[in-house]
Amino acid sequence: MLYIEKTFDAESAQKWGDSIKHVSLVSSVIYIILTFGIKSYMRDRPGFQLRGPLFCWNVTLAVFSIIGSIRTIPDLVGALSNEGWTYSICDSSVYTGHLGIWVFVFVYSKLIELGDTAFIVLRKQQLTFLHSYHHVTVLIYCFYSYPQHVSCGRYYMVLNYSVHSMMYSYFAFKALRFRIPKFISVSITSLQIFQMVVGLVVSLNVMVLRYRGQECHQTMENAVAAVLMYFSYFLLFVHFFYKAYAAPVLAKKVESNGASSEAKIVGNRRGAKKLD
């Protein structure tokens, strides 16, 4: 057990989190204003390279996510194997136990992760609605859920740490101009979709359990918000997957089939002329 895990004061952290949850709303407004402001400023200017800072940024978040995964995955596996499914989605002991610090830093890292957008707009890369929407809604949901010690947070946290450990590692290598096989990016997006499916499933299960009167450390309102949030993410990530990976493949097949058909027609015409 790490020293920071032993000394973490969960009760004080919960009270502090409750007192500053509104910061997520203020931060989101500032984030949106700055994003559009920087995009406007950069419109007629060349984009910055920023490969060094980008690499350092992604490596830092990758290492953070990897450590978070290593520390929290065993808790989820243990909760499932030793106590069962209902316990794993309804118990909130992870907030006050020795892993409380990892829930805490996970929640407030969402404020830091807004910095991802700065690199996108300063480098004049495409900023998608999915990117900004995801960052803002996750930030607000996490800040308002932490003081409640939402029980499904165990799943939300482990899945996010795990996917981010791979995602930020991928971005770090990309910043160094490594040639990375396409199946890696396809796999990461697939895992993101899987993350949304699991988040949706656990949140829906909490709703059902609460409706049946089962004791669960997550309010019906919070579970509904989580369901709506994860469902919207699922739709947006599936749409992104289709546009980024499936659509180009289908377009190539259509183009190939069209060229093949045209070649057959030309061949038939030539054959007909020879017969004439």
Please give the pLDDT value at position 2.
Answer: 80
The pLDDT tens digits for 11-69 are: 999 999 999 999 999 999 999 999 999 999 999 999 999 999 999 999 999 999 999 99
- How much is the pTM? 0.90
Rounded CA gap, 143 and 39, in Å? 27
For the chain, counts of helices (H) and of strands (E): 12, 0
Q: What is the mean pLDDT of the chain?
A: 93
258 pLDDT band, cuts 50/70/90, is: low
Rounded CA gap, 265 and 262, in Å? 5
Q: Show the CA angle centred on residue 216, arms to residues 215 and 221, nearest 5°.
A: 115
Catalytic annotation present for 135: no
The pLDDT tens digits for 113-149 are: 999 999 999 999 999 999 999 999 999 999 999 999 9
**Nearest-CA neighbor of 66 among 142, 169, 135?**
169
262 pLDDT band, cuts 50/70/90, is: low
Rounded CA gap, 235 and 130, in Å? 10
What backbone phi and psi angles, to 5 degrees, belong to 91?
-95, 140
Rounded CA gap, 182 and 188, in Å? 10
Tokens 């609460």, residue located? 210
The pLDDT tens digits for 157-185 are: 999 999 999 999 999 999 999 999 999 99
Please give the pLDDT value at position 69.
Answer: 98
268 pLDDT band, cuts 50/70/90, is: low
Q: Which of 22, 98, 131, 134 is catalytic?
A: 134
Quick check: 218 pLDDT over 70? yes
The tokens for 193 are 């979709």
Rounded CA gap, 266 and 114, in Å? 56
Residue ranges per structural domain of the chain: 3-244
